[in-house]
C-alpha cells in the first residue's frame, strides 16, 4: 500500500481498537500495536498525567521493566516539556539532543543514535491529558516530519476523546458503586438489622426506631425482659451510627461488686487504694468518641448514680484517687429488665438520672408476644449450631408446634441455649417432641395442632371472653388481652372461634 493508504488504514484500525472496549490499558496498548503493524514503528509510548507526574501507561518496543521507569515530572525531558506546554516537539536526532533523557533505557547507544523522536500532546479541548511519543514513523527520509506530526496529532485527538470518555465512565461507575453500598446499608432489609431476627410488627417497630436514632447523639434506654436481645440492639445502634469506627464498650452493672464498680467506670490512679499498683483507665475513658453500653442500669447503687449523672450532664469525671478532670465525648446506651419508673417512685433510682437516660426509650417485647418470630429464630439457631458442630439436625413439625406454644420465660436466650443443647446431644438428625426438654413438653402437652390441651383451653376461653366483652371487635379484644390484633386473629383461626360458638 502507498503511504496515504497506510495512514488511512492505521486511523481506521486505531478507531476500531478504541471502540471495542472501555478498558483504557487494553485500548492504548492496542493503538500502539496498530502503529507498529501498519507503520513499522519501532518504539512508541502513551504517557498520561497523574498527580503532577507524567507516567507511561502503554508502550511498544519496551520491556515491562523499561516501561516502569518511564516517569517524568512536568517540564522534565522531552515528554515532560510537551506535557507542560501542550506543544509538540520534534528531535531530528536524539543523539544530539541533551534534553532527551532516555529514562527507560530502551536505547542503549543513545549518543551515537540518529533516531528521530516525535512527541505530541494528547489534548481534550485545552486540557493536556498526556503525551504520544514515537520514533519516526516512516523510514523514507523524503517524507517530512510535518507529515508524521500531522498523523500523530490526529491519532492523539482520537486517544484524547477515548481517554476522557473512559475516565468519565469510570467516575460514574465508582459513583454507582458508592450509591449501591450506601443503599445496602440503608436498606439492610429496611428495618432488618444484622444478627437481629424479627418479622413481627413489634420488632419492625424496634428496627424502625434503631434506624431513626442511630444517626443522632441521643442517649437511649432499652427496656425489656432478660434474654430479649437488648445488647444486640445496642450494638446495632452503635455500628449504624457515625461512631461506628470508634469503641463500643459494655459493662454489666449487676455483675460487678459495688466497691469495684466505680473503678470499672472511671478508672483509678496508682496508689489510690491497696492493690492499685498502676494507673487504670475506666470504661468511660476507653469509650471516648464511641459508645458505652450500661447493661442492668437499674442495679446501679444510689451512691454511684450522681457520678453517672455528672458524666451525662458535664461530659467529665475524675479517676478514683485523682483530682484531674477528664473530658469525654461518649454516647450512653443503657438497658434494664427492671421497672425504672417504679424504682424512681420508690426512691431507689434518681429521677433526674432516669430522664437523662430516657431521651429515646426503646422496648423489646418478650418472645411470647412475638410468636411469629419463633420459627425463623429456631431456623437461625439450628443453622448456626449445625455449622459449629458439623451436624445436620432438623426439627419435626410436631416439635415445632410445641416450641410455638411454649411461653419462653427465658426469651430468646432460652431458645438459643435449648437449640444448642439439642444439636450437641441429639443422637438422631430429627428433633421429635419427645426430645424436647420436660418443661416445654409439659406446657405444650405434646399434642397435635388439632387437639386442645388444658392450657390451650384456658387460653381459648380467655380469648372468647375478651371478644364477647368487646362486641367482637378484634382490636379492642387484643387490647384487653395485652396482645396485638394480628396475634388474636391467629388465635381465633387456631381455635376455630366464631360468633355463636361457646
Domain boundary assignment for the chain:
3-170, 201-365, 368-444, 454-495
Q: Which residues contact 220 (CB under 8 A, 6 or more apart)?
A: 213, 234, 237, 332, 333, 334, 359, 360, 361, 362
Q: What is the 3-state secondary structure (H, E, C) of 247-299?
A: CEEEEECCCCCHHHHHHHHHEECCCCCCCCCCCEECHHHHCCCCEEEEECHHH
Fold (CATH) for 454-495: Arc Repressor Mutant, subunit A (1.10.10)
Q: How many angstroms separate the CA atoms of 155 and 45, rounded?
A: 13
The answer to whether residue 450 scores a pLDDT higher than 50 is: no
On whether the CB atoms of residues 327 and 369 are closer than 8 A, the answer is no
- Mean pLDDT, residues 364-385: 93
pLDDT value for 189: 41
Long-range interactions of 379-383: CB distance < 8 A, separation 24+: 380/197, 381/415, 381/416, 381/419, 381/420, 382/419, 382/423
* CATH 3.40.630.10 is held by the domain 3-170: no
Paired strand residues for 107: none
Q: How many angstroms separate the CA atoms of 295 and 358, rounded?
A: 14
Query: Regarding beta strands 127-135 and 44-50, do their DSSP bridges make them parallel or antiparallel, or are they unpaired?
Result: antiparallel
User: Which listed CATH number (3.20.10.10, 3.40.50.970, 1.10.8.60, 3.40.30.10) goes with 368-444?
Assistant: 1.10.8.60
Between the alpha carbon of residue 299 and those of residues 87, 248, 263, 302, 330, the distances in Å are 79, 21, 16, 9, 21
- Mean pLDDT, residues 328-335: 95
pLDDT tens digit string along 7-32? 888 888 888 888 888 888 888 888 88
Q: How many angstroms separate the CA atoms of 360 and 476, rounded?
A: 28
Q: Given pLDDT bands bounded at 50, 70 and 90, which one contains residue 97?
A: low
Write out the CATH class of domain 201-365: alpha beta
Q: What is the mean pLDDT of the chain?
A: 84
> Considering the entire predicted model, what is its pTM?
0.53
For the chain, give percent helix, strand, coil, nearest 5. 50, 15, 35
R_g over Cα of the chain = 38
Q: Given pLDDT bands bounded at 50, 70 and 90, which one contains residue 190?
A: very low
The count of other CB atoms within 10 Å of the CB of residue 464 is 18
Copy the grid coordinates of residue 295: 447493661
Provide the percentage of residues in the chain whose pLDDT is more than 90. Answer: 40
Q: What is the 3-state secondary structure (H, E, C) of 132-145?
A: EEEECCCCCCCCCH
Amino acid at each position: 500500500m502507498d503511504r496515504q493508504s497506510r495512514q488511512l488504514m492505521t486511523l481506521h484500525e486505531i478507531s476500531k481498537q478504541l471502540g471495542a472496549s472501555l478498558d483504557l490499558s487494553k485500548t492504548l496498548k492496542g493503538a500502539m500495536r496498530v502503529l507498529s503493524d501498519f507503520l513499522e514503528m519501532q518504539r512508541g509510548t502513551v504517557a498520561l498525567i497523574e498527580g503532577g507526574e507524567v507516567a507511561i501507561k502503554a508502550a511498544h518496543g519496551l520491556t515491562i521493566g523499561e516501561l516502569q521507569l518511564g516517569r517524568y515530572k512536568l517540564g522534565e525531558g522531552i515528554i515532560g516539556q510537551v506535557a507542560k506546554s501542550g506543544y509538540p516537539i520534534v528531535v531530528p536526532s536524539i543523539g544530539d539532543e541533551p534534553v532527551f533523557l532516555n529514562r527507560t533505557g530502551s536505547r542503549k547507544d543513545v549518543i551515537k543514535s540518529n533516531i528521530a523522536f516525535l512527541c505530541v500532546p494528547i489534548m481534550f479541548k485545552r486540557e493536556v491529558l498526556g503525551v504520544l511519543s514515537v520514533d519516526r514513523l516512516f523510514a523514507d527520509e523524503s517524507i517530512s516530519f510535518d507529515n508524521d506530526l500531522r498523523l500523530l496529532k490526529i491519532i492523539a485527538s482520537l486517544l484524547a476523546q477515548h481517554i476522557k470518555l473512559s475516565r468519565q465512565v469510570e467516575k460514574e461507575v465508582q459513583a454507582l458503586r458508592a450509591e449501591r453500598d450506601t443503599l445496602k446499608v440503608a436498606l439492610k432489609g429496611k428495618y432488618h438489622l444484622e444478627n437481629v431476627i424479627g418479622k413481627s410488627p413489634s420488632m419492625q417497630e424496634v428496627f424502625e426506631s434503631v434506624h431513626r436514632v442511630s444517626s443522632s447523639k441521643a442517649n437511649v434506654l432499652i427496656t425489656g425482659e432478660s434474654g430479649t436481645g437488648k445488647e444486640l440492639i445496642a450494638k446495632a445502634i452503635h455500628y449504624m451510627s457515625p461512631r461506628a469506627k470508634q469503641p463500643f464498650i459494655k459493662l454489666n452493672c449487676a455483675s460487678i461488686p459495688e466497691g469495684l464498680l466505680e473503678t470499672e467506670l472511671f478508672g483509678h490512679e496508682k496508689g489510690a487504694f491497696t492493690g492499685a499498683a498502676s494507673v487504670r483507665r475506666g470504661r468511660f475513658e476507653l469509650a471516648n468518641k464511641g459508645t458505652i453500653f450500661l447493661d442492668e442500669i437499674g442495679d446501679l447503687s444510689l451512691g454511684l448514680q450522681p457520678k453517672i449523672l455528672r458524666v451525662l450532664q458535664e461530659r467529665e469525671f475524675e479517676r478514683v484517687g485523682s483530682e484531674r478532670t477528664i473530658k469525654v465525648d461518649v454516647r450512653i446506651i443503657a438497658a434494664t429488665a427492671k421497672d425504672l419508673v417504679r424504682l424512681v417512685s420508690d426512691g431507689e433510682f434518681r429521677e433526674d438520672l432516669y430522664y437523662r437516660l430516657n431521651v429515646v426509650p426503646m422496648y423489646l417485647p418478650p418472645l411470647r408476644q412475638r410468636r411469629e418470630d419463633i420459627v425463623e429464630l429456631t431456623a437461625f439457631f439450628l443453622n448456626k449450631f449445625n455449622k459449629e458442630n458439623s451436624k445436620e439436625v432438623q426439627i419435626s413439625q410436631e416439635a415445632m408446634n410445641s416450641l410455638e406454644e411454649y411461653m419462653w420465660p427465658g426469651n430468646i436466650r432460652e431458645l438459643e441455649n435449648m437449640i444448642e443443647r439439642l444439636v450437641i446431644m441429639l443422637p438422631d438428625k430429627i428433633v421429635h417432641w419427645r426430645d424436647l426438654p420436660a418443661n416445654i413438653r409439659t406446657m405444650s402437652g405434646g399434642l397435635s395442632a388439632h387437639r386442645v390441651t388444658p392450657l390451650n383451653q384456658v387460653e381459648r376461653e380467655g380469648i372468647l371472653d375478651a371478644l364477647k366483652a368487646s362486641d367482637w371487635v378484634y382490636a379492642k379484644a387484643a387490647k384487653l388481652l395485652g396482645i396485638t390484633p394480628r396475634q388474636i386473629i391467629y388465635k381465633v383461626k387456631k381455635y376455630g372461634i366464631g360468633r355463636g360458638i361457646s
